[in-house]
Chain A
Amino acid sequence: MEKINFIGLDINKTTIGGLLLNKTMLFAYALLALAAFGIYEIFDVRYFSAAANAHASGLNPTSLELKEAMRLAVFGDVGEVNRNIPWTLFIVNYMYMIYTGSGIIFLVALAELMNFHLVEKAAAGFMVAGIAMVFAGLFTIATDLNMLNMVWMVLTPNVGAGMWLMLPLYCTYIPFVLFEIYLVLTHKRAWAKRLALPILVLSIIVDLIEYYIQAKLFSMNTARHLWTEFPFLTFYFIISAFVSSLGVMGIVSFLAHRQKHEYGALMELNRKAMLFFVSILGVYEIFAYMTVDKDWAFLILFGPFRYVYFIGYIFLTLTLPFLCIVKPRKPIFTLIASISVVIGGYVGRYLFVYGGNANPMSNRFGVGYEKYDFYALSKPFNYVAPHLGEILIVVGSIGVAVAIYKLFDVFLSVGELREHH
């Protein structure tokens, strides 16, 4: 393929068709179309909901739209956000995509530090996959927030808030990672070599800070004891992210490298790493719930969430993968384990967010849960299923990741194994 040389990178010359209409991109478009529909749904409900307030009828008593809005307010469904479950599937997806994506990048950095040359060879592809997932996560969050008022993040910031720290974090993190990828891809090997170690060390520091800030986002929520009392939340996020990251790396290896002779060794390395982290996660899961507030722990372990927890999470993230990878076997087993942890990891994030909201705030005195209505049942458990719009956006975010990876791949052939340094 013809290449154009630009700032030390070999950029592939390609046609518009080749860039935008290849099979992978078409697949991504399908998913993005779903996301677009989801965005339409969500925005419709968020910005154009038929909502009425108490002063409206004085201003316009004969309006039929207002009458319908009032009827829906009392007898129907209005609005996007449920008071009891403010953080929903969006946050789950954001957590998964960003933590897993960052995890990949973190793991690659660790691998380089420990001189796993095989990983260094495939670093470009992995890191692009990682950053693509980060973008997918940020895309999800962008649809969840009311972006119209984002300017105030800059004008009147609250620098102590975990939520605000996301802004400087990703404003730094993304360019930094892109620079790291550049270093991997660049011709200028001598220069890259000199920067390699400092960048590596910085990378690990930045990653640790990132996970710390993510944990802060959850642990600042005084009311939700699942998050505030989970032991060493930063550490938990890192470990659980690594498990899923290794899963993604296994799948990426399968898709990009299965024809290459390094495939077996790569998968074997993946297997060992995954075995290590799955074991730590297993130990963690056993001890974590002993310290968490029993109200939440019970809901997850013995309450309405128990099937999702044991089958969706423990089985898929710990048991099945462990069985597949405990002994060195053919790469297909590592692949099965990878797919399993990718799904199971998602369920884990889902349990974390929905579980944190499941214990209603209405339990005030230990004399029972409150109800707000004469004719109502007081509920010891909060759960609201995700809307269609949310699900579509989440599915569509995969399309974002796929599209970004493919764009990088088309231009920079990141799927190839390179000699590093």
Chain B
Amino acid sequence: MKVEISRRRFLQGSVALSIVGGTALSQTSILAENAKKSKELPLLKQVPTICEMCVNKCAAIATVKNGIVTKLDPNPYFPKSRNMLCARGVAGIHALYDPDRLKYPLIRTGQRGDGKYRRASWDEAYAFIQEKLVKILDEEKDNRSCIGYCAGEGLAEHTFKTFMADKFGSSNFLNHSTICLQTAVSGYTLTIGGYGQADLENAKYVIMAGANRAEAILTPDTMDMFKRTRGRGMKLVVVDPRFTNSAMHADTYVPIKPGTDLAFVLALTYVAISDQIYNRSYVAKNFVDFDKYKKHIIENEYTPEWAEKITGIPAATICKIAHDFMANAPQAVYYQGRRTTWSKNDFQLRRAMALFSALGGGIDVKGGIVFGKKLPLGEHTTTAPMYAQAKPRIDKNLAAVVGATGTWVGWRNMVAEGKSPYPIRGMFVYKQNPMLSVPNTAKTRQMFEKMDLVVVIDTMPSDTAMMADVILPECTYLEREDPVQSFAGIEPAIAVREKAIDPMYETKPVIEIMRGLAQKLSKPLWEITKKYDEDVQEELEDTDEAEFYEENGFDLSEPFMHSQEETNKHLFVEKYGEEAWGILREKGVFYPNMLSYFKKIDNNTYQCYPKDRKFYSVLKLEEEYDAETFLHDLCVNPVDIADLKRSFNTPNKKVECYLGSMESRGVDPMPTWKDEEFVKVPSGQFKFISGRHAQFTQNSSQNNIMLLELMHENYIWINDQEAKALGIAFGDTVEVSSRVGRVRIKAYPTPKIVPQTVFYIHGFGAKSEGLTFAHRNGASDNEIIEDTIEPVHGCANMHDTIVSIKKV
């Protein structure tokens, strides 16, 4: 949703009006439509939906028999998910019918954290929130930012954000990016103009460092690459402290000491530069400040021999990899990776990776990193009111560039340690579980304990829900229609999530929750604003209150008044028309020419876009070329396409080697290895790293019995030689302790992990008693991960923790 009005800070005084979008339907007819539940359930129907068991958003088809969802099958029309549904996708039924699901609103009766709640009606819950919120805002003199809010990723995240950011007016927003891939996205974007998509369908040489596509499934990367490994077109090099399931497919597996990747990449760059094997014409046409970077690499002597001492990778291997990469370039990719920040130098690492990839010329070319295309959708606008009293976010100085999504660890620590410039009185949590997902769980608990109002909107009674004052139950993704989404890529498409069954129990989709909450809060909060906001008071001297209230967006419920389906129709029909809307509703997916492009070749292969219609090279070319034919001509050598001079989405329109803007903020303008940043492992201790298995999505699937059946608890990986020395055998319970906490977990001694390193997967060890299957099952990684942050965005360093292991 596009917000027409800009934030308070950037304007002086006068109020700018915005365009109010959407058709004006009467309130009653919308509510009546939602309230009417059809009495006749058709015996069998197939409903297109979009999976939300992880972030991939695969298109699926739900089979509904007699009002019960019995199976989820893949939807072959969606190009990105390549006609598949992974273990979690199929197990979505057991998230829908989870016996522990939140069924009705709950209000806390005991102490915060002891899990005692009473059942309440929606009205009661809203009234409770209203009462507390009014009191808090009154005390804080309408400083809207005194209520923080955080959201987990999802198709409906935006709906929640619209309420809290645009309507309620708090600037303290947090989401997963700083405990996830912020540095990777930022590193690539600032260097090559976008995070891009690795074209693994055509790449000939791929270095995958720390990314584990066999177990951290990403569409379509996972689907494409493992059909081409083992000598079938893609040479795969996996660089990882663990021999993961991806390493199993690799042509070369390179064990590496965790935290030393930057040294590895700098050494690769050194070899590429000193041996002059990089794509010189590409660099000449498309790089800026390359001479600075070249000098920097050579003068710092980032040789393979130097890297060998740090990483443990033989110098000869590094040389060979660099040579093989460049020999296969431009169809060679140093895979971006998509996971949490590892250490302090992560941003620089991702920049170095992007630069190395770009040295081969494989950016914006088939077989390299491409930017793809995004199909447009209409815009739904809303009016954001201006709150003069709303202060800016509290954590903006904790790192060089703190964006709109803040720094979770930094923000949380400020609140927990009482260092916030103004009091943070409460938090609204949507679809996130900070108690399990943010490092140093003890501090997160402290943060919540300092608050006066915690509202959690979730589907399960997670550990975070157990810290709430009010728990509002959202329905699962199978019970709601969500905003239609356009998926960018080589084969762009638009998909919609349709409702398979009506919400169960007393749950509601977040749009309805926001509507109800907003309707309850609008007028009382307006009173507070009138009381303290001088700008508003000034305006009201000349204007009619009711008019001002409406026109300036102080009616908080305004963006939520239409049904999602209506909003979707409006956004979509605006661009593609009614007929296309019909196709979208029937198939769940749409892209221009879909019906003529889409073909079934056999049960395993579908064609969504013909080869010559896919979008590989999209950047504006600076040379005179008939881009349309040239880029779509299959006979043209990718090397020739690579060589073209193009315009990148960066400030200098080129690949940026030197970030001057960063320098002024105290961040190295070029990737530099700093010994003092590297966390060394003391003898007898271990560095802790975390990751994923293909059967679980972080902690959201921890109570799914169908998935727990596949692996019912997490185990700690420890090198088998070291385990033997410590007398630890398979299945022994060990205690893992770090500076911030300790856990107990079963041991899995294995040769598949390098020495002085231990690992266990994220997402277990819940303490909430409401989760029957997940309760105290396995161990939580964030209980022991130290809460250090990297300096660029304040992302949490997830792999810098030192732990001790002992058998109990």
**Selected interface stretch from B220-228, B412-420, B704-712:** B704-712
- Residue A71 at the chain B interface, CB threshold 8 Å: yes
- Residue A375 at the chain B interface, CB threshold 8 Å: yes
**Which chain A residues (32-79) contact chain B, with CB distance < 8 Å?**
54-55, 57-59, 61-64, 66-67, 70-71, 73-75
Residues of chain B contacted by A74 (CB below 8 angstroms): 705, 708-709, 712, 773
Q: Is the CB of B715 within 8 A of A375?
A: yes
Q: How far is the CA of A70 from the CA of B97 in the complex (A)?
A: 12
- Residue A2 at the chain B interface, CB threshold 8 Å: no
Residues of chain A contacted by B94 (CB below 8 angstroms): 54, 57
Pick the residue among A66, A75, A374 that contacts B693 (CB under 8 A).
Answer: A374
- Residue A367 at the chain B interface, CB threshold 8 Å: no
Interface digits, A218-258 against B, CB 8 Å rule (1 contact, 0 not)? 00000000000000000000000000000000000000000
Q: Is the CB of B705 within 8 A of A70?
A: yes
Interface digits, B391-423 against A, CB 8 Å rule (1 contact, 0 not)? 000000000000000000000000000000000
Residues of chain B contacted by A58 (CB below 8 angstroms): 68-70, 93, 96-97
Q: Is the CB of B711 within 8 A of A375?
A: yes
Chain A proximity of B768: nearest CB distance (Å): 15
Q: How far is the CA of A61 from the CA of B101 in the complex (A)?
A: 9
Residues of chain B contacted by A57 (CB below 8 angstroms): 93-94, 97-99, 705
- Residue B748 at the chain A interface, CB threshold 8 Å: yes
Q: Is the CB of A67 within 8 A of B772?
A: yes
Chain B proximity of A369: nearest CB distance (Å): 15
Q: How far is the CA of A64 from the CA of B100 in the complex (A)?
A: 10
**Which chain B residues (101-116) contact chain A, with CB distance < 8 Å?**
101, 103
Residues of chain B contacted by A377 (CB below 8 angstroms): 730-731
Residues of chain A contacted by B5 (CB below 8 angstroms): none
Number of interface residues of B (CB under 8 A): 29
- Residue B504 at the chain A interface, CB threshold 8 Å: yes
A61-B773 contact given A74-B709, A74-B712, A373-B711, CB 8 Å threshold: no
Q: Is the CB of A61 within 8 A of B712?
A: no
Chain B proximity of A319: nearest CB distance (Å): 37
A62-B99 contact given A74-B708, A374-B693, CB 8 Å threshold: yes
Chain B proximity of A23: nearest CB distance (Å): 51
Minimal Cβ-Cβ distance residue in A for B730: A377
Is chain A's binding surface mostly helix, strand, loop or mixed? helix
Minimal Cβ-Cβ distance residue in A for B90: A54
Residues of chain A contacted by B101 (CB below 8 angstroms): 61
Chain B proximity of A123: nearest CB distance (Å): 58
Chain B proximity of A367: nearest CB distance (Å): 14
Pick the residue among B97, B99, B708, B711 that contacts A374 (CB under 8 A).
Answer: B711
Residues of chain B contacted by A63 (CB below 8 angstroms): 99
Minimal Cβ-Cβ distance residue in A for B69: A58
Q: How far is the CA of A152 from the CA of B94 in the complex (A)?
A: 37
Residues of chain A contacted by B708 (CB below 8 angstroms): 74
Residues of chain B contacted by A73 (CB below 8 angstroms): 705, 709
Minimal Cβ-Cβ distance residue in B for A64: B99
Q: Is the CB of B99 within 8 A of A67?
A: yes
Output the residue of A75, A373, A374 with the most chain B CB within 10 A: A374
Number of interface residues of A (CB under 8 A): 20
Q: How far is the CA of A374 from the CA of B710 in the complex (A)?
A: 9
Is chain B's binding surface mostly helix, strand, loop or mixed? loop
Q: How far is the CA of A61 from the CA of B746 in the complex (A)?
A: 32
Residues of chain B contacted by A67 (CB below 8 angstroms): 99-100, 772
Residues of chain B contacted by A61 (CB below 8 angstroms): 97-99, 101, 504
Q: Is the CB of A54 within 8 A of B706?
A: yes
Q: Is the CB of A75 within 8 A of B712?
A: yes
Chain A proximity of B332: nearest CB distance (Å): 32
Q: Is the CB of B711 within 8 A of A55?
A: no
**Which chain B residues (76-98) contact chain A, with CB distance < 8 Å?**
93-94, 96-98
Residues of chain B contacted by A374 (CB below 8 angstroms): 693, 711
Chain A proximity of B268: nearest CB distance (Å): 32
Residues of chain B contacted by A62 (CB below 8 angstroms): 99, 103
A71-B773 contact given A58-B68, A63-B99, A373-B711, CB 8 Å threshold: yes
**Which chain A residues (370-392) contact chain B, with CB distance < 8 Å?**
373-375, 377
Q: How far is the CA of A373 from the CA of B714 in the complex (A)?
A: 12
Residues of chain A contacted by B773 (CB below 8 angstroms): 70-71, 74-75
Residues of chain A contacted by B99 (CB below 8 angstroms): 57, 61-64, 66-67, 70
Minimal Cβ-Cβ distance residue in B for A376: B730
Minimal Cβ-Cβ distance residue in B for A62: B99
Minimal Cβ-Cβ distance residue in B for A70: B705
Q: How far is the CA of A67 from the CA of B504 in the complex (A)?
A: 18
Chain A proximity of B215: nearest CB distance (Å): 10
Residues of chain A contacted by B693 (CB below 8 angstroms): 374
Q: How far is the CA of A63 from the CA of B772 in the complex (A)?
A: 13
Q: How far is the CA of A64 from the CA of B98 in the complex (A)?
A: 11
Q: Is the CB of B748 within 8 A of A375?
A: yes
**Which chain B residues (361-384) contact chain A, with CB distance < 8 Å?**
none
Q: How far is the CA of A153 from the CA of B468 in the complex (A)?
A: 62
Output the residue of B99, B706, B711 with the most chain A CB within 10 A: B99
Q: How far is the CA of A73 from the CA of B713 in the complex (A)?
A: 14
Minimal Cβ-Cβ distance residue in B for A63: B99
Q: How far is the CA of A57 from the CA of B97 in the complex (A)?
A: 6
Residues of chain B contacted by A75 (CB below 8 angstroms): 712, 773
Chain B proximity of A64: nearest CB distance (Å): 8
Residues of chain A contacted by B504 (CB below 8 angstroms): 61
Chain A proximity of B346: nearest CB distance (Å): 28
Residues of chain B contacted by A373 (CB below 8 angstroms): 710-711
**Which chain A residues (65-117) contact chain B, with CB distance < 8 Å?**
66-67, 70-71, 73-75
Residues of chain A contacted by B98 (CB below 8 angstroms): 57, 61
Minimal Cβ-Cβ distance residue in A for B101: A61
Q: How far is the CA of A64 from the CA of B99 in the complex (A)?
A: 8
Residues of chain A contacted by B772 (CB below 8 angstroms): 67, 71
Minimal Cβ-Cβ distance residue in B for A73: B709
Q: How far is the CA of A3 from the CA of B595 in the complex (A)?
A: 97
Residues of chain B contacted by A59 (CB below 8 angstroms): 68
Minimal Cβ-Cβ distance residue in B for A67: B99
Q: How far is the CA of A375 from the CA of B712 in the complex (A)?
A: 9
Q: How far is the CA of A67 from the CA of B100 in the complex (A)?
A: 9
Q: How far is the CA of A59 from the CA of B94 in the complex (A)?
A: 12
Residues of chain A contacted by B712 (CB below 8 angstroms): 74-75
Interface digits, B424-455 against A, CB 8 Å rule (1 contact, 0 not)? 00000000000000000000000000000000
Chain B proximity of A201: nearest CB distance (Å): 59
Q: How far is the CA of A54 from the CA of B731 in the complex (A)?
A: 28
Interface digits, B727-756 against A, CB 8 Å rule (1 contact, 0 not)? 000110000000000000010100000000
Q: How far is the CA of A20 from the CA of B746 in the complex (A)?
A: 58
Interface digits, A313-337 against B, CB 8 Å rule (1 contact, 0 not)? 0000000000000000000000000
Minimal Cβ-Cβ distance residue in A for B717: A375
Interface digits, B710-728 against A, CB 8 Å rule (1 contact, 0 not)? 1111010000000000000
Q: How far is the CA of A73 from the CA of B773 in the complex (A)?
A: 11
Chain B proximity of A79: nearest CB distance (Å): 14
Q: How far is the CA of A374 from the CA of B243 in the complex (A)?
A: 13
Q: How far is the CA of A63 from the CA of B98 in the complex (A)?
A: 11
Q: How far is the CA of A377 from the CA of B746 in the complex (A)?
A: 13
Q: How far is the CA of A55 from the CA of B68 in the complex (A)?
A: 10
Q: How far is the CA of A32 from the CA of B566 in the complex (A)?
A: 73
Minimal Cβ-Cβ distance residue in B for A66: B99
Chain B proximity of A273: nearest CB distance (Å): 52
Chain A proximity of B734: nearest CB distance (Å): 14
Minimal Cβ-Cβ distance residue in B for A61: B97
A interface list, Cβ under 8 A from B: 54-55, 57-59, 61-64, 66-67, 70-71, 73-75, 373-375, 377
Top-4 shortest CB links A-B: A57-B97, A67-B99, A61-B97, A58-B68
9 A-B residue pairs with Cβ-Cβ distance under 8 Å, sorted by A, are: A54-B94, A58-B69, A61-B97, A64-B99, A66-B99, A70-B705, A373-B710, A373-B711, A375-B748
What 12 new A-B contacts, CB under 8 Å, besides A57-B94, A58-B69, A58-B93?
A54-B94, A57-B97, A58-B68, A58-B96, A59-B68, A71-B705, A73-B705, A74-B773, A75-B712, A375-B713, A375-B746, A375-B748
